[in-house]
Amino acid sequence: MEAAARRGVKFLHFFTSGFSESGNLSLEKELLRAARKGPTRIIGPNCIGIHCNESRVSCDIPKSPATLQGSVGFLGQSGGMTHSFMRMARSRNIELNKVVSYGNQIDVCFEEYLEYFARDDGIRVIGAYIEDIKNGRRFMQALKQTTVKKPLIILKGGVTEQGAKAAASHTGALSARQDLWEALMKQYGCTVATTFEHLVDLVMLASSLRLPAGNRIGFLGAGGGTSVLFTDLSTTSGLALPELNPETQKRIASKISNVNTSTTNPVDLGFHGFDFGVMAHTIESLAMDDAIDVIIPYFSLDFITTFTHDQIKTGPQLIVEAAMKTHKPVIPILSKFTQDSLAIEEVRIMMENIFRSSGLAVFQTPQDAIASISGILAWNTHVFQDRNQYGPVAHCA
């Protein structure tokens, strides 16, 4: 550390642990004293460091092939969580821009990283895993400056008494009470993730081609029971399924039988819901309805796997083409009920890759889709209320 400071090294990353998280606070203080003898700033200790596509620096282990310059930034206090986020993001075609694992943050802290990410025009969405904060006032100011510009999605660790003890032994963190934390997040327009998977889901949706601008859902698929349950889940989450106008219903009805189907909303296409062409036509019809903000097509992978290879390969592209014709977000759900079928999993991966490479967010359950839409809409509402010159934000191509 002393040698780096003498040589004018700007940054030094400490991967190693054994500092305040294990009671060795004095060693951290010694590092800081040595760093202050020069211009050197410390990343960590107890972290895996930095990933930046632009400069081709990566903390990823093992190293992954270079990807496109993405629009997602991630800040993780845990090295393991940061690494897991990077791997899961790549598996979902979430293109990363910059990632920082910052550990004990004895020098450069979360607030400083967040301020930088907020100013970075290359970063459109920010995700974070936090166990504690160092400067409450600066933290709140950084939140305010960030959320008027871009979605900030935070997963907080250590919100329970036992979790706080675990955080203290992990990164030396002192965690805030859960009720205070939730109130702070709501006040400053942060989107709160409740699990790691929810965090990734929210980042995927926030970085997709188009964001929901309203809570009015148009749902389409095969099966009355699925439609009923989706309606219940949506309603309890603050989303609405308005009845479609007569012209929309007439357009949908022109491609389906009038037996065992419904054209109101949710749209139950019966057995026609297994026809990609009919699904694409229905998406286009819903897109023309002024009462709809978001379109959610529901696909059963168990049935799709029985189709011919050509149908499975070309069908999803029809959905993409329909989605590209509208400014409204199309958010497919790829549901499966057989959990031990490699054939079904292969179809899921293929379809998900087609949808994700086209900029569509994709979910595996209605619950996941609804939770993510509700979370992003909460941020959108905050932006509209707090800075009405921005208006409801939608990322449109």
Query: Does residue 168 carry a pLDDT above 90?
Result: no
If you search the block for the tokens 């939730």, which residue do you land on? 182
Claim to verify: residue 242 and residue 153 sit in the same structural domain: no
Claim to verify: residue 202 and residue 335 sit in the same structural domain: no
Residue 386, in any domain of the structure? no
| Strand pairing class (11-13; 41-43) | parallel
Using 50, 70 and 90 to split pLDDT, how confident is the model at 385?
A: low
Using 50, 70 and 90 to split pLDDT, how confident is the model at 388?
A: very low
Interval 319-342 mean pLDDT: 97
What's the mean pLDDT when you consider all of the chain? Answer: 89
Using 50, 70 and 90 to split pLDDT, how confident is the model at 166?
A: low
Give pLDDT, residue 128: 98
Residues 69, 52: Cα–Cα separation, whole Å: 9
Claim to verify: residue 185 and residue 241 sit in the same structural domain: no
Claim to verify: residue 227 and residue 201 sit in the same structural domain: no
Pick 65 or 219 by higher pLDDT. Answer: 219
Claim to verify: residue 325 and residue 180 sit in the same structural domain: no
Claim to verify: residue 262 and residue 136 sit in the same structural domain: no
Last-in-domain residue among 145, 172, 206: 206
Claim to verify: residue 129 and residue 261 sit in the same structural domain: no
Claim to verify: residue 151 and residue 242 sit in the same structural domain: no
Residue 211, in any domain of the structure? no
- For residue 273, the enclosing domain spans 217-369
Claim to verify: residue 198 and residue 227 sit in the same structural domain: no
Pick 322 or 105 by higher pLDDT. Answer: 322
Claim to verify: residue 201 and residue 260 sit in the same structural domain: no
Residue 381, in any domain of the structure? no
Residue 395, in any domain of the structure? no
Of the given ranges (284-288, 327-331, 391-395), which has the lowest mean pLDDT?
Answer: 391-395
Give pLDDT, residue 395: 43
Of the given ranges (156-170, 260-274, 278-292), which has the lowest mean pLDDT?
Answer: 156-170
Residue 353, in any domain of the structure? yes
Claim to verify: residue 50 and residue 180 sit in the same structural domain: yes
Report the amino acid identity of residue 43: I
Give pLDDT, residue 163: 61
Give pLDDT, residue 160: 67
Neighbours of 134 (CB within 10 A): 16
Last-in-domain residue among 172, 206, 240: 206
CB 248 within 8 Å of CB 288: yes
Using 50, 70 and 90 to split pLDDT, how confident is the model at 306?
A: very high
pLDDT tens per residue across span 107-120: 999 999 999 999 99
Query: Does residue 378 carry a pLDDT above 50?
Result: yes
Using 50, 70 and 90 to split pLDDT, how confident is the model at 315?
A: very high
Share of the chain above pLDDT 90, in %: 67
Residue 382, in any domain of the structure? no
- The C-alpha torsion from 94 through 146 and 187 to 180, rounded to 10°, is 70
Query: Does residue 274 carry a pLDDT above 90?
Result: yes
CB 390 within 8 Å of CB 383: yes
Residue 377, in any domain of the structure? no
**How would you class 357 by CB atoms within 10 Å of its CB: exposed for 0-12, middle for 13-18, buried for 19 or more?**
exposed
**What CATH number is associated with residue 236?**
3.40.50.261
* SS3 label, residue 99: strand
| Residue spans of beta strands (DSSP E) within 170-227 | 191-193, 217-221
Q: How many domains does the chain have?
A: 2
* SS3 label, residue 302: helix
Buried b / exposed e over 290-302, threshold 16 CB at 10 Å, is: ebbbbbbbbbbbe
Q: Output the CA–CA distances (angstroms, integers) from residue 2 to 47, 209, 252, 352, in the order listed.
A: 20, 47, 72, 50
Residue 379, in any domain of the structure? no
Give pLDDT, residue 18: 72
Pick 354 or 380 by higher pLDDT. Answer: 354
Write down the pTM of the prediction.
0.89
Residue 313: CB partners within 8 Å, gap ≥ 6?
350
Residues 144, 187: Cα–Cα separation, whole Å: 9
Claim to verify: residue 181 and residue 278 sit in the same structural domain: no
